[in-house]
Amino acid sequence: MNTVVNVIPLLTEELFQHIWKFRLFTQSGLTTLDGQPLQILHPGIHNNHAGPDFTAARIRIDQTLWAGNIELHLKTSDWYRHRHQHNQQYENVILHVVFNNDVKELTTGGIPCIELQQFVPKMLFERFIRLRESADLVPCGKMAARVPYIIWEKWKERLLAERLERKANRLQSWLLCNRYNWEEVCYWAVAESFGLPVNGEAFLQLAQSLPYNLLMRHQQSIFHLEALLFGQAGMLEGNFKDEYPLRLQQEYNYMRHKYQLQPLSGYLWKWLRMRPSSFPTIRIACLAALLQKGSHLFSKILETNDLARFEQLISVQPSLYWQQHYRFDVPARNVRNPGLKAAQSVLINSVLPLLYLYGQEKMKYCYQEKAIDFMNLLPAEENRVIREWGELGVKAKSAQDSQALLQLKNNYCQEKKCLQCAIGAKLLKEEISD
């Protein structure tokens, strides 16, 4: 029996399955434990459910062609430890692949067995260990930019689909809460996006505390809308000097009793380390302006087929008071409107995912295609993660790219899921073939 090399304590079943799936081992000179020549024609299809690890594999042992299932273990004894010899699901296994043979038998219950440890290059483990132990934003660092363009493009398409599906699942849970009221869900989603990245949750709570149909009763009056929104946000408490917040305070106190409203805590809102144009006061004023533009926002979204029209739907100018103030009672010069970039952020983070979900729910896939097409037309987002990707040589040319890179960082790089990443898998394979 052979002794496992020093790097093997970090070998996992996931890595071993990856090695087999992508044939990251020397394939010449393979033999079973009893010395019969072995040729791998097809490693099989990875099975993520109960039963053998790979199905529909094809191998040749000596002169005999075999087709069926393959089971992998780090050690031969794992076959018995997992009690596969008593499980009928493993009766059709044609090959038992182990990294280290730690038993005297040359087969496992009559099933041919091969030990791969001597055929797997040590540099693969060294590369894998460096990836897993890296403290960088992206474990593979600047090596990621070496991966061919076509692999990156295909992977980013998959990542964007994953991100849209994740967001659609969350929006679908809101639909269930609202008995499939698409306009209400659109209002929640847009409101949350107005608060991103710091105050998204607070904006969502604000929207959920003020029903859409209530706000639409006051659609014609920006004053009434601001009184409801700022009052419900807990921002009309205390004493004010300016006439405008005093009037808002008075109006909200009246509507609070009329509609039996309970305001949120003013402590929910975050102000530190953000540009004044991103202050929650400015964003709430913009949300009020958007609500005043008209009802049935989601219906208009469904009818829109032009990106400029999309941007026009969401772009707003806050009321006059908020063109001269960032906070109540604090005058300011050159107040900057959140502008087009804020509108584009709302489109990317709420409108297009909701459009994608609508196509999925109604089985009208043209809406899903439209959502993806507009992601490709919108400019890439500007944030710390996208800048750091750019420093590694991976540039985001569109919102489709930036959303994909955010998904990659949050769900793969941060979790060190290098084996499940097309880029990590390519770099590991490249290392072996170099």
- Alpha-carbon gap, residue 385 to 390, rounded angstroms: 9
pLDDT of residue 22: 87
pLDDT of residue 126: 77
pLDDT of residue 36: 95
pLDDT of residue 257: 97
**What's the pLDDT tens digit per position in 343-369?**
999 999 999 999 999 999 999 999 999
pTM score, whole prediction: 0.83
Q: Of the candidates 126, 71, 81, which has an alpha carbon nearest to the alpha carbon of residue 102?
A: 81
Beta-carbon count within 10 A of 220 CB:
10
Beta-carbon count within 10 A of 169 CB:
12
Tens-digit pLDDT profile for the chain (434 aa)? 444 444 455 688 888 998 999 888 998 999 999 999 999 999 999 998 889 999 999 999 999 999 999 999 999 999 999 999 889 889 889 999 999 999 988 888 889 999 999 998 888 887 788 787 777 778 888 889 999 999 999 999 999 999 999 999 999 999 999 999 999 999 999 999 999 999 999 999 999 999 999 999 999 999 999 999 999 999 999 899 999 999 999 999 999 999 999 999 989 999 998 888 899 999 999 999 999 998 899 999 999 999 999 999 999 999 999 999 999 999 988 778 888 899 999 999 999 999 999 999 999 999 999 999 999 999 999 999 999 999 999 999 999 999 999 999 999 999 888 889 999 988 887 755 54
pLDDT of residue 335: 79
In one letter, which amino acid is 380?
A
- Alpha-carbon gap, residue 331 to 321, rounded angstroms: 9
Q: Show the CA angle centred on residue 42, arms to residues 37 and 44, nearest 5°.
A: 120
pLDDT of residue 434: 45
pLDDT of residue 10: 64
pLDDT of residue 433: 52
SS3 of the chain: the string is CCCCCCCHHHCCHHHHHHHHHCCCCCCCCCECCCCCEEEEEECCEECCCCCCCEEEEEEEECCEEEEEEEEEEEECCHHHHCCHHHCHHHCCEEEEEEEECCCCCCEECCEEEEECHHHCCHHHHHHHHHHHHCCCCCCCHHHHHHCCHHHHHHHHHHHHHHHHHHHHHHHHHHHHHCCCCHHHHHHHHHHHHHHCCCCHHHHHHHHHHCCHHHHHHCCCCHHHHHHHHHHHCCCCCCCCCCHHHHHHHHHHHHHHHHHCCCCCCHHHCCCCCCCHHHCHHHHHHHHHHHHHHCCCHHHHHHHCCCHHHHHHHHCCCCCHHHHCEEECCEECCCCCCCHHHHHHHHHHHHHHHHHHHHHHHHCCHHHHHHHHHHHHHCCCCCCHHHHHHHHCCCCCCCHHHHHHHHHHHHHHHCCCCHHHCHHHHHHHHHHHHC
